[in-house]
């Protein structure tokens, strides 16, 4: 029987549930996952009690547990942003980890928690105004009340008065509770119940209430003597992938050379984050036990930062040179949020190099893409350090192709004009409701056409796979890609691609 890891995901979105399983397959690992019905599904919270029971059963025959604590404690990411779960219940749910540790003291438990983001969830067109107002409110609270920049006092008062009082109350209640849970996680790490901990800063800006929470967590870590054993870095949805990378690199650090498309771009703060891109990369490296070396590394981790078109051209030429020289190149595409940079990928595609990448990610935030690329690179390095099986080769190619189709084809090419048309037609792209089947079908037609053209233009071997598309949360923000039924890896993802 093959060994497996047990993962409790953040919720049931593809990034939380599907990506980890696919990347584990690249590394040759079986990933045990709970029933999808246990997990959070958009506005419907998952079941923390069932999640805890599942973890306890999984602990009996797993070599490690990877735990997204928001699912265990609150029922998922969406639920974690609201105060329906009391602090007492939250800590009781979390104590499942202590119970498992007492029963299985030698079982590694790695956890990923979140520092709450600036605002609540935008669950529909009607909540978008509150979403934006609350994001600015938390910035202004920091600027005025903590940093003493009283010139923003009038704007703070105006913003505060525009938000329903109950929304502000619930927001602060959820923040306070979540912070106490994170402090308890530090105690678990210090006491041995956890062997690894990553705290991810969900969507934020340089100013905001999260800054005080980060400072308090770092100070508590120092008092507990664990300051070098946990890491805070921007991200969230890729938390399970961070944990998987940490597990893969736990026995021996992954060594790589780090390069940026633009050193100036690496100093910029990406949208939805609170620090420069190069600090986000360093944080994820530390969290995943990745070590930077200056030269002679077999793996190059390339971060495609905000940059000029000349720098993009130079990056494409250098990546081409590295791959032809036999280097493995992992590409984190963070020039733009929520999608790839076509100007880079078009050049790599025309050279037929995309199938030869060790990893690629260009979805959502910079932290999301960086963490995902590290995880895939860690898995592929694990595979090539031995002799990859046919299944590992095919898993690598499939995940690469799905990232290209999703991050480039859907997120960058199709999604924005599709959303604009849908809004003009009176649809709510954040909650499609009865319009979801119609929109899903349109996406599948458009994306299949784009996919077939890009497959041929990118010099992939074999015929293009036929992908089915679903909208897992009934909105346009994310899609889930699968091979259509009665199709096999072997028919499309020929290992001659690599």
Give 158-211 as a DSSP string.
Answer: HHHHHS-HHHHHHHHHHHHHHHHHHHHHHHHHHHTS-SEEEEEE-S--SSSTHH
- Centre a 10 Å sphere on the Cβ of residue 360 and count the other Cβ atoms it contains: 29
Query: pLDDT tens digits for 223-232?
Result: 999 999 999 9
- Centre a 10 Å sphere on the Cβ of residue 80 and count the other Cβ atoms it contains: 29
**Could you tell me the CA-to-CA distances from 409 to 166, 178, 412, 446, 458 in Å, in that order?**
40, 36, 6, 9, 13
Q: How far apart are CA 460 and CA 318, in angstroms?
A: 21
**pLDDT of the residue at 296:** 82
- What architecture (CATH level 2) is domain 253-386? 3-Layer(aba) Sandwich (3.40)
Length of the chain (residues) = 498
Give 370-416 as a DSSP string.
Answer: HHHHHHHHHHHHHHHTS---HHHHHHHHHHHHHHIIIIIIIIIIIHH
CATH number for the domain running over 4-248: 3.40.50
CB 122 within 8 A of CB 43: no
Give the HSE-up count for residue 395: Cα atoms under 13 Å, Cβ half-sphere: 24
Judged by phi (left if over 0) then psi (alpha if -120 to 50, else beta), residue 347 lies in alpha
CB 230 within 8 A of CB 214: no
Strands 467-470 and 480-483: what pairing? Answer: antiparallel
C-alpha closest to that of 144 among 209, 192, 91? 209
Tell me the average pLDDT across 292-320: 96
**pLDDT of the residue at 121:** 81
Query: pLDDT tens digits for 37-73?
Result: 999 999 999 999 999 999 999 999 999 999 999 999 9
Say what percent of the chain tops pLDDT 90.
89
SS3 316: helix
CB 181 within 8 A of CB 90: yes
Q: How far apart are CA 127 and CA 32, in angstroms?
A: 36
CB 93 within 8 A of CB 45: no
Asked if the domains at 4-248 and 253-386 fall in one CATH topology, the answer is: yes
Query: pLDDT tens digits for 95-140?
Result: 999 999 999 999 999 999 999 998 888 777 677 788 889 999 999 9
Residues 6 or more apart in contact with residue 478 via CB below 8 angstroms: 13, 14, 15, 471, 472
* pLDDT beyond 70 at 450: yes
- Centre a 10 Å sphere on the Cβ of residue 212 and count the other Cβ atoms it contains: 12
- Name the average pLDDT for the chain: 94
C-alpha closest to that of 111 among 195, 183, 190? 195
For residue 475 the two structure tokens come to 């909105």
pLDDT bracket for residue 466 (50, 70, 90): confident
Residue owning tokens 């602090």? 87
Q: How far apart are CA 429 and CA 432, in angstroms?
A: 5
Longest dimension (CA), the chain: 65
Q: How big is the CA angle at 26 (ends 21 and 30), to the nearest 5 degrees?
A: 50
CB 236 within 8 A of CB 284: no
C-alpha closest to that of 380 among 66, 29, 15? 29
State the burial class of residue 215 (Cβ atoms within 10 Å of its Cβ: 0-12, 13-18, 19+): exposed
**pLDDT of the residue at 1:** 41
**pLDDT of the residue at 493:** 60
R_g over Cα of the chain: 22
**Could you tell me the CA-to-CA distances from 140 to 149, 247, 355 in Å, in that order?**
9, 39, 46
Say what percent of the chain tops pLDDT 70.
96
**Could you tell me the CA-to-CA distances from 96 to 90, 188, 206 in Å, in that order?**
11, 11, 34
Across 202-285, where does the E strand assignment appear? 230-234, 254-260
Judged by phi (left if over 0) then psi (alpha if -120 to 50, else beta), residue 462 lies in left
Q: How far apart are CA 402 and CA 494, in angstroms?
A: 15
Tell me the average pLDDT across 288-293: 96
> Looking at the DSSP assignment, which residues form a beta bridge with residue 68?
112
Query: pLDDT tens digits for 179-215?
Result: 999 999 999 999 999 999 999 999 999 999 999 999 9
For residue 402 the two structure tokens come to 């799905």
Residue ranges covered by each domain of the chain: 4-248, 253-386, 413-498
The model scores a pTM over 0.85: yes
For residue 357 the two structure tokens come to 């990448």
* pLDDT beyond 80 at 2: no
**pLDDT of the residue at 3:** 62
Residues 6 or more apart in contact with residue 442 via CB below 8 angstroms: 418
């Amino acid at each position: 029987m093959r060994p497996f890891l047990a993962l409790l995901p953040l919720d049931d979105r593809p990034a939380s549930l599907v990506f980890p399983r696919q990347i584990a397959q690249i590394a040759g690992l079986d990933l045990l996952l709970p029933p999808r019905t246990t997990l959070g599904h958009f506005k419907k919270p998952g079941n923390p009690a069932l999640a805890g029971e599942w973890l306890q059963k999984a602990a009996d025959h797993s070599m490690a547990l990877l735990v997204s604590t928001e699912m265990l404690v609150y029922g998922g990411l969406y639920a974690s942003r609201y105060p329906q779960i009391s602090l007492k219940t939250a800590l009781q749910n979390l104590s499942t980890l202590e119970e498992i540790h007492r029963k299985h003291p030698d079982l590694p438990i790695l956890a990923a928690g979140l520092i709450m983001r600036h605002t609540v969830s935008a669950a529909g067109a009607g909540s978008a105004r509150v979403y934006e107002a609350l994001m600015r409110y938390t910035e202004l609270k920091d600027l005025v009340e903590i940093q003493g920049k009283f010139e923003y006092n009038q704007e703070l008062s105006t913003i505060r008065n525009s938000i329903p009082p109950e929304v502000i109350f619930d927001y602060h209640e959820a923040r306070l509770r979540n912070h106490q849970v994170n402090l308890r996680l530090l105690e678990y790490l210090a006491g041995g119940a956890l062997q690894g901990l990553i705290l991810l800063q969900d969507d934020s800006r340089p100013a905001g209430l999260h800054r005080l929470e980060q400072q308090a967590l770092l100070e508590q870590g120092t008092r507990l003597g664990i300051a070098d054993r946990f890491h805070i870095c921007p991200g969230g949805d890729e938390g399970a992938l961070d944990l998987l990378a940490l597990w893969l690199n736990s026995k021996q650090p992954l060594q790589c050379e780090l390069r940026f498309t633009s050193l100036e771009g690496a100093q910029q703060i990406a949208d939805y984050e609170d620090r420069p891109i190069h600090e986000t990369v360093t944080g994820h490296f530390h969290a995943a036990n990745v070590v930077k070396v200056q030269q002679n590394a077999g793996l190059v981790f390339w971060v495609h930062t905000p940059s000029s078109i000349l720098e993009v051209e130079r990056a494409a030429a250098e990546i081409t040179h590295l791959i032809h020289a036999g280097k493995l190149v992992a590409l984190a595409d963070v020039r733009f949020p929520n999608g790839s940079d076509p100007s880079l990928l078009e050049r790599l595609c025309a050279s037929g190099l995309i199938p030869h990448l060790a990893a690629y990610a260009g979805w959502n935030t910079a932290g999301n893409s960086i963490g995902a690329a590290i995880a895939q690179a860690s898995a592929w390095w694990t595979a090539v350090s031995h002799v990859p099986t046919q299944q590992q080769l095919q898993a690598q190619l499939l995940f690469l192709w799905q990232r290209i189709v999703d991050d480039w084809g859907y997120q960058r090419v199709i999604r924005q004009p599709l959303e604009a048309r849908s809004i003009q037609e009176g649809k709510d792209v954040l909650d499609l409701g009865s319009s979801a089947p119609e929109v899903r079908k349109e996406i599948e037609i458009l994306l299949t056409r784009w996919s077939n053209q890009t497959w041929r233009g990118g010099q992939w071997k074999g015929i293009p796979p036929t992908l089915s598309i679903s909208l897992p949360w009934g909105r346009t923000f994310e899609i889930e890609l699968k091979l259509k039924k009665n199709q096999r890896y072997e028919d499309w993802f020929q290992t001659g691609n690599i």
